[in-house]
Structure 1
Amino acid sequence: MRIDLHTHSTASDGTDTPADLVRAAAAAGLDVVALTDHDTTRGHAEALDALPRGLTLVTGAELSCRIDGIGVHMLAYLFDPDEPELARERELVRDDRVPRARAMVGKLRELGVPVTWERVAAIAGDGSVGRPHVAQALVELGVVPDVSGAFTPDWLADGGRAYVEKHELDPFTAVRLVKEAGGVTVFAHPGAAKRGRTVPDSVIADLAASGLDGIEVDHMDHDGPARARLRGLAADLGLLTTGSSDYHGSRKTCRLGDFTTDPEVYGEITRRATGAFPVPGTGGRP
């Protein structure tokens, strides 16, 4: 059983539509895929409508959080999307994305980069605009070789020259809200140091004590020693460990199913969830 619990579509900053993403997941031989767009559940309906037979969809989102000036991404699975407090917080984050992206474009232009808001908005399309869309504009201009190359102190990394803060949840609040909405939380890529500063293990321990369910261990941004350390930390704290591709379509080099989650861990995630349930595909529309 092959299970990928972290993917993105055009509902946020991926390049596949939700329908195309679930079809690609089936073609890649996955049995289960989670759609976890940034701070939105807008792609779920389309994904469910197109869900191929033999593929199960886990609904979710990746919540933008920050603590002590450090960005944290919290994967939330199988929560009730209509729970009002969590929905309100997601909306606040989404509403801040456009002014933030505009401000990043302004900073880049001050640095001599001829990027335009119109081009960034066109790249984002109907998705929730974010740093990856600005990064793609920099790739098109030849400023950086690829999207990952834009996430450096010179450009868009946390604290970088063109970085702009946005409204983000406190991760402890995120864990509480997701739990109150019947969902399950997994700390996304906690050891991805190349993205910027990471939180100390003590914060993960405090989150575990506050109800965090797991940490994402097997991820493209974690090397072998990082995975071993995180697996040991999870064992010490009684946390679940997941593996995921963090697929963004053509915007990143990772492929669907590059890293997967153990079926027993997946079973425990579904057992803990009460806000929503995995949906098996029935064939979908052509």
Structure 2
Amino acid sequence: MPDHAPVFEGPIDLHTHSSASDGTETPYNVVRSAKEAGLGALALTDHDSTAGWASATQAAHDFEITLIPGMELSTRLEHASIHLLSYLFDPTNPALLAETETIRDARLKRAEQIVARIGADYDLTWQDVVAQTTAGATVGRPHIADALVAKGLAESRSQAFQGILHWRAGYFQPHYAPTPLVGVQLVVAAGGVPVLAHPGTSRDRVIPESRLRLLVDAGLFGLEIEHRQNTPDAKEELYELAAKYGLVVTGSSDYHGEGKPNRLAENTTSPEVLAQIVKRATGSSPVYGAVARTA
């Protein structure tokens, strides 16, 4: 890591996905798109996977942009899915590696079971879903959505989630994931910096304060508040919680290429917050492009 604190220049987007999970662009092209969008730095945060880090690192050098290697870790609190953005951890940490492998296996089995149930009512097979994935990708419901679109059973990925893949349609089922507390502990033990992803998608989805306090005590570093899916009321409460517990606030696009309407840099994080994240991390280093210098 650098001897001096980095000074970041240009907009910063700390939540993006590639074809290593459920984005539609390769990791290399996500970084290229970030450069074209005018970003100074981005984080690649594929679901439960670091498979895109190497390609994204090469792109960061090629396009002179700063890359923050990361991951979006799946966790579950009772029936609620809670995602944990995890930055600059050690990708070789045995405990975190084992847990993400377990999660990916569970995602795969869940996807196969969902497809089998849908296939009983619609013309959809597992082979249709595999055709929408890339080698090594974390297979999930977005790939099923893409298969539904390819088969003419939905107009878009978003429409598939509003229709056949909506829980009310009867095909949904959860997959294994650790609790948020275990997730935070794993990331921190791997030298990473955990931030709760879009925790206010509805007023009822804001994590209970008693639970949040436990996560803070375990090393939770921030809340992703500026995100298009967080509601205004939830944002207001989240800002209050961030101030009360000394958590940093991030803003991100949650970019998935053409897989979601989210656009790069539609929400951004301040350079000061990114500098704090980098200072806290001990697991790995940013890939510094020409847009970051040291003070």
Q: Give the TM-score taking structure 1 as reference length.
A: 0.91
Corresponding residue for 1:149?
A: 159
1:65 and 2:110 matched: no
How many residue pairs match? The answer is 280
Instruction: Give the secondary structure class of the aligned counterpart of 1:6.
Output: strand
CA–CA distance in structure 1, aligned partners of residues 152 and 211 of structure 2: 38
Range with bigger deviation, 257-266 or 226-235: 226-235
**Is contact 2:206-2:234 (8 Å) kept?**
no
Instruction: Give the secondary structure class of the aligned counterpart of 1:151.
Output: helix
Corresponding residue for 2:211?
A: 203
**Is contact 1:53-1:280 (8 Å) kept?**
no
CA–CA distance in structure 2, aligned partners of residues 189 and 140 of structure 1: 29
- What does the per-residue CA deviation read over 1:96-141, in whole Å, with 9 as the maximum and x for residues that have no partner? 222211101012123x222211111111222211011112222334
CA–CA distance in structure 2, aligned partners of residues 56 and 186 of structure 1: 19
Superposition CA RMSD, Å: 2.1
Corresponding residue for 1:99?
A: 109
Question: 1:274 corresponds to which letter in structure 2?
Answer: T
**Is contact 2:66-2:290 (8 Å) kept?**
no
Q: Give the TM-score taking structure 2 as reference length.
A: 0.88
CA–CA distance in structure 2, aligned partners of residues 47 and 37 of structure 1: 11
CA–CA distance in structure 2, aligned partners of residues 251 and 186 of structure 1: 23
Instruction: Give the secondary structure class of the aligned counterpart of 1:75.
Output: strand
Query: Structure 1 pair 201/144, CA: closer, same or farther in 2 (3 Å)?
Result: farther
CA–CA distance in structure 2, aligned partners of residues 122 and 13 of structure 1: 13
Q: CA deviation at 1:143?
A: 3.9
Corresponding residue for 1:7?
A: 16
CA–CA distance in structure 1, aligned partners of residues 29 and 288 of structure 2: 17
- What does the per-residue CA deviation read over 1:46-94, in whole Å, with 9 as the maximum and x for residues that have no partner? 1111223431000010001101121110010000000100111011111
CA–CA distance in structure 2, aligned partners of residues 27 and 53 of structure 1: 9
**Is contact 1:40-1:90 (8 Å) kept?**
yes
Q: CA deviation at 1:158?
A: 5.7
**Is contact 2:18-2:25 (8 Å) kept?**
yes
Mark the runs of 5 or more structure 1 residues left unpaired by the alignment.
Answer: none
1:274 and 2:286 matched: no
Using the aligned pairs only, state the percent identity. 45
Which 4+ stretches in 1 moved above 6 angstroms? Answer: none
Query: Structure 1 pair 226/250, CA: closer, same or farther in 2 (3 Å)?
Result: same
Mark the runs of 5 or more structure 2 residues left unpaired by the alignment.
Answer: 1-9
